[in-house]
Amino acid sequence: MDSTTRPLRSLLYIPASKARALEKARQLAADAIIFDLEDAVAPDEKAAARALLGQEINAGGYGARMRIVRINALSTEWGADDAAAVLEMGVDAVLLPKVGGAGDLDALAQITGVLPIWAMMETPRGMLAAAEIAAHPLCQGMVMGTNDLAKEMGTRFRADRLPLIPALGLCVLAAKAEDIAIIDGVYNAFRDAEGLARECEQGCDMGFDGKTLIHPAQLDVANAVFSPSPEGIDLAHRQIAAYEDALAEGQAVAVVDGQIVENLHVAIARKTLAKMNAIDSLGTE
Ligand SMILES: CC(C)(COP(=O)(O)OP(=O)(O)OC[C@H]1O[C@@H](n2cnc3c(N)ncnc32)[C@H](O)[C@@H]1OP(=O)(O)O)[C@@H](O)C(=O)NCCC(=O)NCCSC(=O)C[C@H](O)C(=O)O
Ligand SMILES: [Mg+2]
């Protein structure tokens, strides 16, 4: 999964039990939807939510948005039935919560076959197994579960997420080593746009492809922060042009804005432009 071909700036969780939200999502500017059967659905509602979700996905209308279903863990009474149902829904991927190792993905694949799997990274054991989880042949992406992780680690809340930084960085490394998607956790205070923007900037700086969200009001912020900026696009064009001029003169190094530009910088610049094209083409599908 590559952000130059499929933007993953905003992944909106939708409780599968909420008919109004499932309907509304067909019009929202989310790059992906995570239809949630796990924590957002009360135990007594699980079976009804699973049935409703099947009907809604079957009805279609979600356009180019990637469709991912988060099931309950296979250790719960609902997990196996969720997995079997997802296989019939024709979605893009299944998201497995509380993954502790590659064996959990093997167990899911016994039910879901070759359907791509995304892994919730939200337990200490999962952190220590991040490399083997990312390397699983069916693993297409990882999603940070920062609420569960903070709970399991016994961290105190800090706006700068200092206690979680090693785990966030570890998962970014594991995902990048396998060239799979890596998505940051949710920002709980869904009416605090400034706080969300700060956390999106931090995630973007760290290498995350996008952020998971819990409310439509968070979409614009995440989409803006995880899109290339106009300045970044302008710089990319100028770096490519300067480097091509340098090559024509037999040089392998150009200078733009007082900084060197080598082939790796040009590769980054081309990636920035490709990502922008992919975002632009979302609107035309
Ligand atoms: C947080 C909410 C409970 C707030 O709901 P509500 O009070 O109804 O919000 P609003 O009245 O402001 O809603 C306005 C309209 O937007 C629609 N809506 C709300 N949320 C969503 C959504 N997620 N997707 C689509 N549409 C949504 C409402 O229906 C209103 O529509 P309209 O009637 O037309 O005005 C609620 O936002 C919510 O339930 N959010 C999702 C919570 C969730 O999914 N939680 C689980 C995922 S996070 C997680 O599990 C963490 C992770 O595992 C970890 O460990 O960190
Ligand atoms: Mg969780």
Question: Which tens digit of pLDDT belongs to each residue from 144-176?
Answer: 999 999 999 999 999 999 999 999 999 999 999
For residues 40-66, give the mean pLDDT: 97
What are the pLDDT digits (tens) for 64-113?
999 999 999 999 999 999 999 999 999 999 999 999 999 999 999 999 99
Q: What is the pTM of this model?
A: 0.97
Q: Determine the pLDDT at residue 63.
A: 93
Residue nearest (by alpha carbon) to ligand 1 atom 36: 215
Q: Determine the pLDDT at residue 2.
A: 67
For residues 201-207, give the mean pLDDT: 98
What are the pLDDT digits (tens) for 221-274?
999 999 999 999 999 999 999 999 999 999 999 999 999 999 999 999 999 999
Q: Determine the pLDDT at residue 282.
A: 85
Residue nearest (by alpha carbon) to ligand 1 atom 4: 215
Distance (angstroms) between ligand 2 centre and the Cα of 221 equals 22
Q: Which residue has the tokens 């923007």?
A: 197
Give every CB contact of residue 42 below 8 A, 6+ residues apart in sequence.
17
Q: Determine the pLDDT at residue 3.
A: 64
Q: Determine the pLDDT at residue 187.
A: 98
Mutation probe of ligand 1 site: the residue of 22, 24, 38, 199 with most atoms within 8 A of C-beta: 24
Mutation probe of ligand 1 site: the residue of 214, 218, 219, 220 with most atoms within 8 A of C-beta: 214
Ligand nearest to the CA of 214: 1
Ligand nearest to the CA of 186: 1
Distance (angstroms) between ligand 1 centre and the Cα of 190 equals 9
How many C-beta atoms lie closer than 10 Å to residue 5's C-beta? Answer: 11
How many C-beta atoms lie closer than 10 Å to residue 234's C-beta? Answer: 11
For residues 16-28, give the mean pLDDT: 97
Tokens of 176: 């990048």
Give every CB contact of residue 187 below 8 A, 6+ residues apart in sequence.
195, 196, 199, 200, 211, 213, 214, 218
Give me the chain's average pLDDT, please.
96
Q: Tell me, which fold does domain 10-225 have in CATH?
A: TIM Barrel (3.20.20)
Tokens of 55: 């009907």
For ligand 1, which residues put their CB under 6 angstroms from it? 12-15, 20-21, 24-25, 36, 39-40, 122, 145-148, 185-186, 190, 214-216
Question: Higher pLDDT residue, 106 or 4?
Answer: 106
Which spans in 129-164 are helix H? 130-134, 146-153
Residue nearest (by alpha carbon) to ligand 1 atom 11: 215
Q: For 251, list phi and psi in degrees, rounded to 5.
A: -105, 150
- Specify the DSSP element, H or E, that contains 261: strand 259-261
Ligand nearest to the CA of 146: 1
Contact criterion met (CB below 8 Å) for 253 and 262: yes
Contact criterion met (CB below 8 Å) for 204 and 223: no
Residue nearest (by alpha carbon) to ligand 1 atom 12: 215
Percent of the chain with pLDDT over 90: 96
Distance (angstroms) between ligand 2 centre and the Cα of 145 equals 5
